[in-house]
Structure 1
Amino acid sequence: MSSHAVPNLAMNPRQQRYSQLPRHPLVLCASLVGNPMNLGALCRTAEACRLESLVLPDVGIIEERQFRRVAVTTHHWQPLQACAPAHLIPWLEAQRERGYTRLALACDNQAQSLMTATFPQRAVLLLGRELTGIPAELLAQCDQTLVIPQYGLVDSLNVQTAAAMAVYEYLRQWGLDPFPRGNGGDPANASPQ
């Protein structure tokens, strides 16, 4: 398990202020996701929503062309961590010890609907593998399983689309604006809290 700090790029003053702004205490765990384009899209979503961290199976994925095509430059601003799928059980336990509620996003008829779920403020959202989802032994490590209600014949969404919907619901419940008021509409003009 490793961490990828936001690089110390030659930043202009606006970027320096932006890097100091608070983040939403939601960790998006994509350790099971294999497609570099999906991971790039997840990075873009995590950065756009100022999430605490995006967990990848390997931080080296950010060097892949397919990842960068979708992530654009968001990997420069989004805090990243790495956790190989084989290490997810101890990693999830460590998150519980840090006070984070572990949530799984899965296609499961027994799961709580995303539409009625109440998100804890400090949470980890575990995403599944493309096609096969989250293995039972990892679901058992989570405090709650969430499902996105669907009404079509195909009963699943692309992992990035599903994650974006769940992240938006988290933000809707906890406030879309983590920035102090009076910043002129530009979050980079806000002062760190």
Structure 2
Amino acid sequence: MPGTPHDTPAEVGVGPWPGGPDAWPRLASGAPDPRYDPELLAHGDRRNVVDAYRYQTVEAIVADLDTRRNPFHVAIENWAHDLNIGSVVRTANAFNSAGVHVVGRRRWNRRGAMVTDRYLHVHHHPDAAALATWAAGAGPDGARLPIVGVDNVPGSVALETYVLPPRCVLLLGQESTGLTAAAQEVCDVVVHITQHGSTRSLNAGAAAAIAMHTWALQHVPR
């Protein structure tokens, strides 16, 4: 209604560390805790991070995430500067993937990632064959990581009936064309997400999220 004041959106994150510089986190020795960023402590932390990482430097957050990465990787073909790549990267961060692999063009559309790529290990491979070469020795003690394609192509297996490997690479294609023939050739298996409506395919970012969540349901203790 005219004249009715609008609610002010709640500010994201937290303000400056309460108590000022004298109250900033310190080590037992009394020295400043190096995990914390003085700029964030002084001015507040408005980043999209969980509360446990408030005020911490990117390097400190990455170091902590590295101690508990989930042993699956996410790869996506990048031939057309697909907007969905950023969304896939953001979801990979949410599931603490061991790494993200961009296959094809080195430059990718980062807009949807919302800077979450800073907390991940992002790798580049010029083509699917190069990704397969990397995966051949990327497991523990040089073991091979299986490559699981995600696409609704003929011969694919329903994801909901398939047990994903505990350590693997989930490979996705472009939004418009799906996995290329070259990418399908390097896959150990291609899985699809069973659909119940009229659309031919799922958004690539949504398919990636479902695949990662399925992996987590099967392999992350609850």
Give the TM-score normalised by structure 2: 0.65
Whether 2:95 is the aligned partner of 1:49: answer yes
- Note the 1:133-172 alignment, pairs <5 A: 133-172=178-217
Count of aligned positions: 161
1:89 paired residue among 101, 108, 129? 129
Counterpart-to-counterpart distance in 1, 2:67 and 2:105: 26
- Note the 1:106-145 alignment, pairs <5 A: 106-145=151-190
1:4: which partner in 2?
none
2:85 paired residue among 23, 31, 39? 39
Contact 1:130 1:159 in 2 (8 A): yes
**Bigger Rg, which one:** 2
CA-CA distance at 1:20 after TM superposition: 3.8
- Residues 83, 176 of structure 1: alpha-carbon distance in 2 compared, 3 angstrom cutoff: farther
- Residues 75, 153 of structure 1: alpha-carbon distance in 2 compared, 3 angstrom cutoff: same
Counterpart-to-counterpart distance in 1, 2:92 and 2:35: 20
1:44-72 per-residue CA deviation (whole Å, 9 max, x = no partner) reads: 101111001111245543xx6xx23x222
CA-CA distance at 1:109 after TM superposition: 3.9
CA-CA distance at 1:34 after TM superposition: 3.4
2:120 paired residue among 44, 65, 78? 78
- Residues 93, 20 of structure 1: alpha-carbon distance in 2 compared, 3 angstrom cutoff: closer
Contact 1:31 1:83 in 2 (8 A): no
Give the TM-score normalised by structure 1: 0.74
Percent identity reads 24
1:184: which partner in 2?
none
Q: Which runs of 5+ in 1 are unaligned?
A: 1-9, 178-193
Q: Which runs of 5+ in 2 are unaligned?
A: 1-33, 38-52, 139-143
- Residues 12, 122 of structure 1: alpha-carbon distance in 2 compared, 3 angstrom cutoff: same
CA-CA distance at 1:146 after TM superposition: 0.3
Counterpart-to-counterpart distance in 2, 1:137 and 1:77: 30
Backbone CA RMSD of aligned residues: 2.2
- Residues 50, 140 of structure 1: alpha-carbon distance in 2 compared, 3 angstrom cutoff: same
Letter of the 2:137 counterpart: E
